[in-house]
A = this chain, B = another copy of it.
Amino acid sequence: MRHVAALAGVGIKTVSRVMNDEPGVSEETRQRVLGASQQLNYQLDMAAGSLRRAGRRTLSIGLLLPSVSNPFSGEIHRALEDSLAARGIAVFAASLDDDPEREKALVAAFLGRRVDGLVLTPIAKSQSYVIPEHSRDLPMVFIDREPVGIEADAVVTDNAVGSAMAASHLIAQGHSKLAYLGDRTDIQTARERRRGFIEEVGRAGIATSSVPVLEGLHDEDSARRAALQLLTSEDPPTAIFSSQNLVTFGVMRALKELGASKRVALVGFDDFTLADMMEPGVTVIAQHPDRIGKLAAERLLARIDGDHGAAQTYVVPSELITRGSGELPPPE
């Protein structure tokens, strides 16, 4: 900047004014400065600026996701990016891999980079460790799961409602022998999905104790094996609800192996690519990661802009998409 000022024959502050589009510079001076900066290939150093700038804004935020390679996370990331780009805010993204220790380490890493805000999918048992920062006014929005031990904004899917929708849809097709296949039980959303499903089953007058609940299925293969066992048991269910993508894939494989794809009904939580190309198409409760990301961005920006209202949880509705597998009737 010094060099540009020297070349343009002006004071350093004038260069700063021009580079930041501040008013109070004559058009002529402005052009001279612009010329000099181009000639020197000069580029403002944001980091140095934020050191002194009011509010210390770095125009960057941190985003903690289960994994940047997970399509659901990718969509959220993209929606956030789009909403924040308009304000010139860049996004640091990182993957948690369901590891509470990583969550803490990554939050610390982002704090050290002085991000203007944090959007995160909590995985640690409690988020109380960020209370100091949050009360020091670090904007923070939790997504997908609500935080524990701290009052902060959250944007979540209506997991229980969506799962209840799945149950009532299967029951409406005439099924009474249902089964629930679920994810790790230490994940809040998984528990919510089970609760919503089971409660709806009870509400329909079916004995909830008669519904097999197989949980802790952390990957495709464990889900596949659980489904195989269930389907070859003495009194197999005629309809299955799977609480998550990988579980759904596992169930689909089991059904295919048994040649039961067109006989046993299936509804999965979470939509996925090519679901409509399967045979039959897979009925799902679709989440809306794009809306989650957009809403999270809006809340974060509001907080960054000084909104000090009470913390709120925003719920994004899920949606039943019928494609065939969930509409298979029970056998006679």
Contact = CB atoms under 8 A, between A and B. Distances in A.
A109 B58 CA distance: 12
Contact of A112 (B43, B70, B71, B132): B43
A48 interface: yes
A114 interface: yes
Contacts of A108: 43
Q: How many copies does the complex hold?
A: 2
A45 B115 CA distance: 11
Contacts of A132: 41
Contacts of A273: 249, 272-274
A47 interface: yes
Contacts of A274: 249, 272-274, 278
Contacts of A301: none
Nearest to A289: B69
A138 to B, nearest CB: 11
Contacts of A60: 92, 113
Contact of A69 (B50, B78, B272): B78
Interface in A18-71: 41, 43-48, 50-51, 58, 60, 67-71
Given A71-B74, A74-B68, A46 B113 contact: yes
